[in-house]
Amino acid sequence: MIRVDQNRDVIGIDFSGEELTLSYWKKTGRQTEFVNLLHYPIQGLSEDDIAAMIAKIIKDLKIKNPYIVAVIPLHLAITKNLEIPSLDAQEIREIIDLQSGRQTPYSREEIIVDYINIGTYRQSYTKILLVIVTRSAIKRQVTIIEKAGFRIEKLCFAPEGISQVCQGQAGKEAAQATIGIIHVDANFTDFIVALRGIPIFTRTIPIGVKHLSVDEAKFKLKFAEELKNSLETYQSEDIDVPPSTLMLTGATGPESVLESVIVPEVRISLRRFAYIDFLPLHHDVAAIPALTQQLSFFNVTALFVAPRPMTVDLVPEEIKLKRLFEARTRELMKMSVSIICIVLLVGVAFLGKMYSKGLYLETLKKQDNTYSGESQVLEKAMERIRLIKHYLKTRGHALQVISALYDTVPKSIMLSDIKVDAERNVSLKGTAQAMSNVFSFVSALEKSNYFGNVKTNYTTSRKQDAQDVADFGISCVIKDR
């Protein structure tokens, strides 16, 4: 199973041999199905020609942004069964990176390696199926797809998807048992031993439909011999129990011929599995099964209908790192654009607020200019009113003070200065014939109903015309009446 964004159309492609096979996996309505299966001969074509063909195919299919999954068939890979003394995935990966160069005649730099976890063995060991592909084979596929104007999203190992689909169709009795899978294609046949949908042993038989079509008698016997050798190799490596069932799948043309030699030679029950009947095909793909007699689309379809995700991904690390960097760069760009947009929005909002306040201030200034003249007129009128009120309030105070003093001042006292302020404070200055007259005058003012808070500010004695006189100063307040 390949996890993809539902909005993207998916292309499964295999152009590793003399044939280009392509599957178009798409969501149509409520279900996802194969809307097209295509096949083109590419023997003798250059990389540029193949790239142009792929670009034209995708253009004709009207796919704008395809999610391309390239399939590595078994004959391009080297597989090894190993026991790793660790259960930790990170440690297993490190051990594989160190030891994989010893498993092939190639140097570590010339190969790309991944593995399939088969299970735990002897408590602390992990059994794995090591998958090794030359870097040149991977580079060729990546280059051709890039020349076509696209990119490979994943590079899957074909036997992984085939094993899951076949194990699921083998029945409940084979769910926990080993099964043998014979996948026949145009030029090669894949022999796979699967356990719980996991390929635990693989071997390529260099005989396909084309060989049987040329010389059936010769190649069917050679096929039976190669199949026996494959089973013997599997048993000699003591990987697991021998398969009790063989499933014959792939191209349907030579099924009868192969069945006639397989059953007598290996003495294991054989059943045919028509994978094309299992696939969810669009109604427009009705004519496709006729093609499956001479070649197999199982490689480019099984990985999409398998119940579990594919664990092997042979995309080179440098490409993965480059894509990770590009993805993070895009995220950084998106975040930068978002920040810039937020700053612009805040700035626009701030400027808008300032502009509206400026307009409001201008309006207030105009209103102020309009009302300032009127306010000045009002202020002058208020000032006149205050003056009139004060005049009316204080009008007659002087006469009242003089009248009250006239009734109070004795003949022995002469007043020289009388002052009355706006707060109704009265200040009196004068001369008395004797100091006792001053005190009598103060007592008379205190007893008066008109004056209050009477105080003597000062008294001084002096001679006037050979007679003693007393100068004085008195302050008081006019009472409210």
Q: What is the reported pLDDT for 131?
A: 95
Q: Residue 175: what pLDDT?
A: 72
If DSSP codes are grouped into helix, strand and coil, which group holds residue 5? coil
| Residues listed for the chain | 481
Stretch (H or E) spanning 67? strand 67-72
Q: What is the pLDDT of residue 2?
A: 76
At 207, is the secondary structure helix, strand, or coil? coil
Q: Mean pLDDT, consecutive 10-residue segments, the chain of 481 residues?
A: 75 92 87 90 93 94 92 94 90 86 84 92 88 94 94 94 91 81 94 94 94 91 93 91 91 88 86 90 71 88 92 91 89 92 92 89 82 78 79 66 80 87 85 88 86 89 84 88 63
Asked if 441 and 412 touch (Cβ cutoff 8 Å), the reply is: no
User: At which residue do the structure tokens 């006292």 appear?
Assistant: 413
Whose CA is closest to 170, among 197, 134, 209, 146?
197
Distance from C-alpha of 300 to C-alpha of 183, rounded to nearest angstrom: 13
The residue assigned the tokens 């076509």 is 148
Exposed, middle or buried: residue 441 (CB in 10 Å: 0-12, 13-18, 19+)? buried
Indicate the pTM of the whole model: 0.71
Burial class (CB in 10 A: 0-12, 13-18, 19+), 338: exposed
274/252 Cα distance (integer angstroms)? 8
List the structure tokens of 185: 């294609």
pLDDT at res. 450: 82
Tokens of residue 405, six digits: 């003093």
What are 193's strand-pairing partners? 180, 201
Q: How far apart are CA 261 and CA 173, in angstroms?
A: 26
User: What tokens were used for 44?
Assistant: 């003798």
Residues 6+ apart with CB under 8 A from 65: 8, 9
Please give the Cα distance from 161 to 298 (Å, whole number): 9
